[in-house]
Amino acid sequence: MHAHYLQHVPFEGLGSIAPWLAAAGAEVTRTRLFAGDALPEVAALNLLLVMGGPMSVNDEATLPWLVAEKRFIREAIEDGIPILGVCLGAQLIATAMGARVYANGDKEIGWFPVTAVPSADASSFRFPPSLEVFHWHGETFDLPAGAVHLARSRGCEHQAFQLGPSAIGLQCHLETTPASARELATHCRAELVPSRFVQGEAEILAAPVEQYAAMNTVMDEVLAYLTAGIQ
């Protein structure tokens, strides 16, 4: 399996996805968009991972590589390449497929539960009824046409969606590890202005390892779902 990930800033990597890919024996490559790396050929990929970042999908004037990235993501989806978007990555999937991305009513930073949205589509991924997960975002998105709504939170209605059999967008960060949480807190500390859905740094980093593990297990399940048909 050839897994490729799109990285938008040096401090937002794969988190718990990396050991899952290693255990699956995957070849892993990446495009560091912030460094000007070229995008690969879509046809060469078995799995595409679009990671997070502090920028907006609407920043094309200052970050022109977003234009090519959105085109690349749309091509991957249309070609049926399994794709997972996390936070900014989910927003990129949404906008690449014609949906609007805009400021959420509240920033959502820290540990808050998401709840599953019942779906009539029995083939779509199933979230746990409720799960405490890590968040770090200020924007949200409309669901792309034809998408299945998978999960919501009190602070953000669209926490997860699925588009067709092989594209999933997660607004929340199921891949976060203690190390990656510290990285975010270090580089994005200015955003930690307490409000009803923004926790302080000490509270965020005090989460027990079991909380990370439970969330990472669901990320493993998402990855297994998306790659079930890959030899």
Structural contact between residues 4 and 76, judged by C-beta atoms closer than 8 angstroms = no
Question: What is the pLDDT, as a whole number, of residue 215?
Answer: 98
What pTM value is reported for the model?
Answer: 0.96
Mean pLDDT by 10 residues, the chain (231 residues): 97 97 97 97 96 96 97 97 98 98 96 91 92 97 96 97 96 98 95 93 97 98 94 59
Structural domain contains residue 231:
no
Residue 101: Cβ within 10 Å count: 18
Structural domain contains residue 48:
yes
Structural domain contains residue 173:
yes
Question: What is the pLDDT, as a whole number, of residue 120?
Answer: 63
CATH, residue 23:
3.40.50.880
Number of domains making up the chain: 1
Structural domain contains residue 163:
yes
Whole-number Cα distances in Å, 142 to 124, 146, 173: 19, 11, 18
Structural domain harbouring 214: 2-226
Structural domain contains residue 158:
yes
Structural domain contains residue 49:
yes
